[in-house]
């Protein structure tokens, strides 16, 4: 599983780093920063899916 974060769509709602703090972080202005590159670590797949399904801006997509 891979996560794609479209920074041009992120408006800093903060849902992803609340739901998946091991995958996303907030920058100083509250915009999302993806903490991983490549594959989602084993065990974090559910959090990755949650982050995507709760983004109001549809900025996070998951690729299997």
Per-position x/- string for 41-60, each x denoting binding to other proteins as judged by CB under 8 A, each - no binding: ---------x--xxxxxx--
User: Does residue 26 belong to the site contacting other proteins (CB under 8 A)?
Assistant: yes
The values of phi and psi at residue 31, to 5°, are -75, 155
User: Does residue 13 belong to the site contacting other proteins (CB under 8 A)?
Assistant: yes
Residue of 4, 12, 33, 61 that binds other proteins (CB under 8 A)? 12
Q: How far apart are CB 41 and other proteins at their closest, in Å?
A: 21
């Amino acid at each position: 599983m891979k996560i794609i974060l479209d920074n041009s769509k992120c408006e800093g709602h903060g849902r992803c780093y609340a739901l998946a703090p091991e995958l996303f972080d907030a920058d100083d202005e509250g915009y999302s920063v993806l903490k991983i590159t490549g594959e989602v670590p084993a065990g974090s797949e559910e959090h990755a899916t949650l982050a995507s399904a709760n983004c109001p801006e549809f900025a996070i997509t998951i690729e299997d």
